Structure 1
Amino acid sequence: MATPPKHPLPTVAALVSGPSGRVLLVRTTKWRGLWGVPGGKIEWGEPLEAALRRELREEVGLELHDIRLALVQEAIFDPQFYQPMHFIFFNYYARSESEEVTPNEEIAEWVWVEPEGALKYPLNTFTQVLLKDYLSVGAHPYREGGLSS
């Protein structure tokens, strides 16, 4: 294992909804087989939203629009991750006009699922928090009465 960073690692990720209203979940080996949302590291000098767009293009081949910052979470040496890390997660909600996924080598499996049904998957706890926020009253950014109304 490489020497861990000496500072927290900022990352971006998005709960993406497609034209059908379903959301994208991905499973990677880095999260010990748990399901989550696509995302990754922010590059030096890269704005958060640009990092999010780049990571989603690289990992799943999707272009994003209607991007909304959802919440910020922190993971300090969480055992769900394959190695000890200190992450700062900038979690977003976003839309994609396509549900055609082109996965990179990090993605073992993916699925588009109704948001309510996503909670039945074995999710990492950070994705659970994000999804529950998405489903909560007034937090869903694309529902009638939500953030974008």
Structure 2
Amino acid sequence: MHTGWSLPGGTVEEGEDFSAAFRREIIEEIGVSLDLVDLIEVQRKKFISPQGESFDFLLAVFEARMREEELPGPTDDAIAEGLEIALFYLADIPSEMILGDRQKLTHHLKAS
């Protein structure tokens, strides 16, 4: 199990495209609606489990604006997954981020 902050994420379900999966995961994990959804990067990745099993996958990175002015309380899915949800100013992005998420944020925020 990973510890630390991360960007919201999940898997694409059968019949979904990347954008639909992104919107669904945001609603499930954070409980907010999105505007201005933009796919900004697709990365080819390889996952290797501690048991040595591996598989290739695509990682889609999105940029979007939430419609709400504040975060709602935790969603049922966030509670079930033990997630803590928070917003951060650019200068306060946690250093304890997993899966290279801090680098993704700083790279894409500097580019915008």
The alignment's TM-score, normalised by the length of structure 2, stands at 0.76
| Structure 1 residue aligned with 2:71 | 100
Q: Percent same amino acid at aligned positions?
A: 28
Query: How far is the alpha carbon of 1:135 from its aligned partner?
Result: 2.3
Name the count of aligned residue pairs: 104
Task: Choose 96-105 or 109-118, whichever is displaced more.
Answer: 96-105
* Per-residue deviation, residues 101-143 of structure 1 (Å, max 9, x unmatched): 433222421221102321x33011431232022221xx22xxx
**5+ long unaligned stretches in structure 2:** none
Is 1:35 aligned with 2:5?
yes
Query: How far is the alpha carbon of 1:46 from its aligned partner?
Result: 0.9
| Structure 2 residue aligned with 1:45 | 15
C-alpha distance in 2 between matches for 1:107 and 1:38:
13
**5+ long unaligned stretches in structure 1:** 1-29, 141-149
Residue 38 to residue 107, structure 1, CA distance change in 2 (3 Å): farther
Is 1:64 aligned with 2:43?
no
Higher strand share: 1
Structure 1 residue ranges (4+ consecutive) displaced by more than 3 angstroms after TM superposition: 83-87
C-alpha distance in 1 between matches for 2:64 and 2:92:
18
C-alpha distance in 2 between matches for 1:84 and 1:123:
23
Partner SS state of residue 86, structure 2 = strand
C-alpha distance in 2 between matches for 1:91 and 1:78:
21
Match of 1:115 among 58, 68, 90: 90
Residue 87 to residue 122, structure 1, CA distance change in 2 (3 Å): farther
CA contact 1:59–1:107 (8 Å) conserved in 2: no
Is 1:130 aligned with 2:101?
no
Query: How far is the alpha carbon of 1:66 from its aligned partner?
Result: 0.8
CA contact 2:19–2:39 (8 Å) conserved in 1: no
| Structure 1 residue aligned with 2:46 | 76
